[in-house]
Amino acid sequence: MEDVASNFIHDIIDKDLQEGLAEEIHTRFPPEPNGYLHIGSAKAIWINYTIAKKYGGKFNLRYDDTNPVKEEEEYVISIEEDLMWLGAIPSGGIFYGSDYFDQCYEYAKKLIIDGKAYVCDLSQEQMSEYRGTLTEGGKESPYRNRSVRENLELFEKMKAGAFAEGECTLRAKIDMSSSNMNMRDPVLYRIIYASHHRQGDKWCIYPMYDFAHPIQDAQEGITHSLCSIEFENHRPLYDWVIDNIGVSHKPHQYEFARLNMTYTVMSKRYLRKLVETNVVDGWDDPRMPTLCGLRRKGYTPSAIFEFISKSGVSKTFSIADVKFLEHCLCTELNETAQRRIAVTQPLSVIITNYPSNEIEYFDISNNPQKPEQGKRSLPFTNELYIEQSDFLVEPAPGFKRLVLGGEVRLMGAYILKCNEVEYDEKGNAAKLLCTVDLETKNNKPADGRKVRGTIHWLSAGHTLDAQFRIYNQLFNKENVSSLLEDDNFEEFLDPDSLEVYDNCKMELALEHAKTGENIQFVRQGYYVKDSKHDGVFNRTAPLKSSYRPK
């Protein structure tokens, strides 16, 4: 593994190791299986995984499946698939928060016995009223001083299903006057009558994340519990739980800034709406920031991790440029992607001075950046396809391709001259009648005339049909996340986020193209075979990113 640039978390770990506060570093990635992972999740994965690798420690995948209402097995499967695709192998193992429900229950009873937790009958609305505000402290629940015996009996009845949902909760007894709202007697357990994807109907009470998470970390021997910055105000509660449940191993929580990206929404709530309202073609739509969407679009794990690494790790809010992600990918694919030829909008060319029964082959490089990858043979006949955009009847300023009466170089072959144009019923060019200079086979014209442009081509009788899809940004506002309110995301959708081209032509070498194999279509961009639809190729990125450092 390449060295990872040091950051403030590494500084903390270095200090902890030096002072003997930790021996083997142990990290974890704890996603809730209520949706698909996105590129923001990849930052958390990268931080935890690379730290474990750097310090020779362990890295766990732990599903935070403490809310049976939102979680599904589909998401459990997808999360593991994404980690494996990224190469972030959980060296410490794969765990589930629900594996610790028995321990959580016992620790909750310990808190009750120690006088640090109580069963509260306040409704959610009443509890909110009692909680106070950011500037005024809250007031204690009238049920706060129940006896230990009564609380244990009530908690047991909660577990046995004697109460309705919302009828009561188990709360920590901390400080209703605390300046930190999270410490004002937070809820530890709530009642939910729903079947759990792993536990079935064993439980009808479920621990809150803030209570379960530190217990899970302690049980697994996590040394550094790394999470995004919105949990910073939850850290005192994390420490309170660890200090009061009586565990010998005491993990510590540290926070980092989330990954935010221009023209992108990361909220699972909004991503789910995009899927459910059919704005996109599922969670893996290539316009989505999900890892499965990026994978389907042709992004590579190495490009994603390079983007995250170079974007940096800090506690300061920032927004990364989505074009920088594209730049990281283009830089990689320029070196690795094999070149192929495709014509997006075919224009028929008939070469009148070339025998109709003759086939000639020209050797074309598979990758000019990697000569060791060799060449392939491209057939040449008297019937070709070129791009419609490579031809104009009359010259336009700056246009250096084919015009009526003009010449261009056919890439790797002859110089072509357009002599005549046949039009369709709409007045568009439908067929070009041309000639080639047979003396210019990979050579300059003998008479020294200059040919300004080079275009790609395919033999009309040696092609595969395909549909090309160009996926652009889904939203039309740079900082769209700050503009979203409830259901108003539709007003920020870009109507041109998907362009579809039918009747595209590709060279025969792509007949056995593999899903996920990156290809550079010469002069077109980087493409990948779609994983869901036969005969479809998705554009991964243009040939050159438009990213410009600010």
State the catalytic residues: 32, 258, 268
User: How far apart (Å, rounded) are the C-alpha atoms in residues 384 and 324?
Assistant: 38
User: How far apart (Å, rounded) are the C-alpha atoms in residues 62 and 65?
Assistant: 9
**What interhelical angle do 101-113 and 209-220 show, nearest 10?**
110
Tokens of 111: 């808190």
Q: Residue 433, Cβ neighbours under 10 Å: how many?
A: 14
Dihedrals phi, psi of 264, to nearest 5 degrees: -135, 140
3-state secondary structure of 221: coil
3-state secondary structure of 317: coil
For the purposes of burial, counting CB atoms within 10 Å of the CB of 337, is it exposed (0-12), middle (13-18) or buried (19 or more)? buried
Q: By the 8 A CB rule, do 137 and 177 touch?
A: yes
Please name which of 239, 203, 230 lies closest in space to residue 97, comparing C-alpha atoms: 203
User: How far apart (Å, rounded) are the C-alpha atoms in residues 490 and 479?
Assistant: 15
User: How far apart (Å, rounded) are the C-alpha atoms in residues 510 and 462?
Assistant: 11
3-state secondary structure of 457: coil
User: How far apart (Å, rounded) are the C-alpha atoms in residues 299 and 304?
Assistant: 7
Q: Kindly provide the residue ranges of all beta strands, DSSP E only, lying in 381-451, ordered along the sequence.
A: 383-387, 391-392, 402-403, 407-410, 415-423, 429-437
363: enclosing H helix or E strand: strand 360-365
Cα-atom radius of gyration of the chain, to the nearest Å?
31
Tokens of 279: 């704005």
End-to-end CA distance of the chain: 30
Q: By the 8 A CB rule, do 469 and 539 touch?
A: yes
Please name which of 475, 465, 471 lies closest in space to residue 540, comparing C-alpha atoms: 471
For the purposes of burial, counting CB atoms within 10 Å of the CB of 147, is it exposed (0-12), middle (13-18) or buried (19 or more)? exposed
Q: Kindly provide the residue ranges of all beta strands, DSSP E only, lying in 216-277, ordered along the sequence.
A: 224-228, 252-256
Tokens of 167: 């009828």
Q: Which residues of 342-379 are buried (b: 16+ CB within 10 A; e: fewer)?
A: bbbbbbebbbeebeeeeeeebebebbeeeeeeeebebe
